[in-house]
Amino acid sequence: MIPRLVIAAPSSGSGKTTVATGLMAALRSAGMKISPHKVGPDYIDPGYHALATGRPGRNLDPWLVGEERVVPLFEHGAAGSDVAVVEGVMGLFDGRGETDFASTAHVARLLDAPVVLVVDAARQSRSVAAVVHGFATFDPRVRVGGVILNRIGSDRHEELCRAALAGVPVLGAIRREDAVATPSRHLGLIPAAERSAEATAAVARLGELVARSCDLEALVRLARTAPALPGRPWEVPVHQGNAVVAVAGGAAFTFGYAEHVELLEAAGAEVAVFDPLRDEKLPEGTGALVVGGGFPEVYAAELAANTSLREEVASFPGPIAAECAGLLYLCEELDGRRMCGRVPGVARMSEKLTLGYRDVAASRDSLLTRKGERFRGHEFHRTRLTPPGDLFQETGGYGDALVTASYLHLHWAGRPELAQRLVSSSRSPSVLR
């Protein structure tokens, strides 16, 4: 049995990330092994979770991987831990469209985990009880096991809130503290990998804040009320291979799921991380490239200045899988800066945010796709590519026997054959498997 908690809130901006990351850090400081998880397709929060716990942050998303894989992936990631902490997404019941599919509540039900509701009490006192009552009774399948009050202004404010919540376990009361704020920009929080020293210090402050504001023992007791889960942990399918797969990293390319590296290694690949901002050459023996998501628009000048690497990528004869930021790096120009030119198109920053889940069909065979196959993914960007390409009928992109490049973020645990297709093609690039 894996003790576990889901940290949820009535809405975005209530303090879920503060509480979840701080709780992870506080419990680790208390000597426990903590497994960090995040509901949804978010890449940034798991980076802070990893700093707080010393373990990879992992995502739980029924839309991207299928309902049937959520529990196995959770058990795979949480193996050997003392407590698993799952940070929710948006409001507790906010899911895809008019349903709660892929919501925090959906994942909490799948995990049979108690929920801790983080309530922003900054502009209310007794009314917090009405909010909590509504969330606790809205869906009887979701067990709200306690409340953490956030942004409490004074002792008197805390007394009023606690009195109104009589009968509901109040597991913490966090005072307003601007010193723990995490800097943001156009797509949300700045990734931890871009500000490692500052991020490490910020996570430590969050841990101290939660440790002095919350009842850690009561939270652990609540986590231990979660029952045993059915089934077996996710098992990575193992294949034979001998390829070197170079994966873009560094400050410009921070988006990636932990399972992708595990799948590549299980497919027989040696994974070598390279930094397109600083490395002038691809890793020795590279047989395939993976260029995932991130913020190339922030680093366009530095990426453009690394001419030797851009030219090597442009002429690279092996397979390349690219998503979103990777697509922009492979195109001809980004905001007037020269990129690799491996795929046609010019990209520009846009005021419009493109965000949401996608269910798309491949219009042709490519490195990762087969014509007519459907893929569930996620888009999250403020750029526009011209021309957009037509690899996916709904979102565009480019593809041929050696390239799959689009705005679509995929979770390969939901399609483990993708890693095998990439590694197999790296051994014989002319053969489309």
The pLDDT tens digits for 121-139 are: 999 999 999 999 999 999 9
Q: Are residues 250 and 210 in the same domain?
A: no
In the numeric block, the tokens 């940290």 are attached to 7
Q: Which two tokens stand for residue 23?
A: 């709780």
Nearest to 380 by CA among 13, 6, 43, 57: 43
Query: At which residue do the structure tokens 């590549």 appear?
Result: 264
Residue 430's pLDDT is: 42
Residue 72 lies in a domain: yes
214 plus 266 within the same structural domain:
no
Q: Are residues 44 and 121 in the same domain?
A: yes
Structural domain ending residue among the three candidates 160, 193, 223: 223
Strand, coil or helix: 392:
strand
On whether both 313 and 175 belong to a single domain, the answer is no
223, 255, 285 - which closes a domain? 223
User: Number of folded domains in the chain?
Assistant: 2
Give residue 186's pLDDT. 40
Question: Is there a domain that residue 8 lies in?
Answer: yes
Question: Do 333 and 259 fall within a single domain?
Answer: yes
Read off the pLDDT of residues 93-108 as tens digits, 9 standing for 90 and up: 999 888 999 999 999 9
**Comparing C-alpha atoms, which of 214, 220, 223 is closest to residue 174?**
214
Whether residue 324 lies in the annotated active site: yes
Asked whether residue 120 carries a pLDDT value surpassing 60, the answer given is yes
Query: Domain boundary at 223, 254, 282, which?
Result: 223
Indicate whether 233 belongs to any domain: no
pLDDT at residue 129, rounded to an integer: 98
| pLDDT more than 90, % of the chain | 87
The two three-digit tokens of residue 52, written as one number: 């707080």
Residue 237 in any domain: the answer is no
Q: Which residue segment(s) compose the domain that 313 sits in?
A: 244-427
Instruction: Please tell me whether residues 63 and 13 are part of one structural domain.
Output: yes
Give the contacts of 212 (CB within 8 A, at least 6 positions apart): none
174, containing H or E segment:
strand 170-175
Residues 120 and 260 in one domain: no
- pLDDT above 70 for 183: no
185 and 103 in one domain?
yes
pTM check: above 0.85: yes
Residue 199: per-residue pLDDT: 85
Q: Which of 229-238, 252-261, 284-293, 353-362 has the lowest mean pLDDT?
A: 229-238
350 three-state secondary structure: strand
> Is 238 inside a domain boundary?
no
Beta bridge partners of 206: none
Co-location of 72 and 192 in the same domain: yes
What pLDDT score was predicted for residue 184? 47
For residues 205 and 250, state if they share a domain.
no
CATH of the domain at 284: 3.40.50.880
Percent of the chain with pLDDT over 70: 95
Q: Assess whether pLDDT exceeds 50 at residue 367.
A: yes
What are the tens digits of pLDDT across the range 260-274? 999 999 999 999 999
In a domain, residue 141? The reply is yes
Are 248 and 219 members of one domain? no
Q: Which of 214, 324, 331, 340 is catalytic?
A: 324
* Average pLDDT of the chain to the nearest whole number: 93
Q: Which of 8, 353, 34, 19 is nearest to 182 (CA)?
A: 19
- Arithmetic mean of pLDDT, 331-351: 96
* 109 and 173 share one domain: yes
Residue 65 belongs to domain with CATH number? 3.40.50.300
290 within some domain: yes
Could you report the per-residue pLDDT of 300-326, keeping only the tens digit for each?
999 999 999 999 999 999 999 999 999
Q: Give domain status of residue 433, yes or no.
A: no
Separation CA 348–CA 340 (nearest Å)? 15
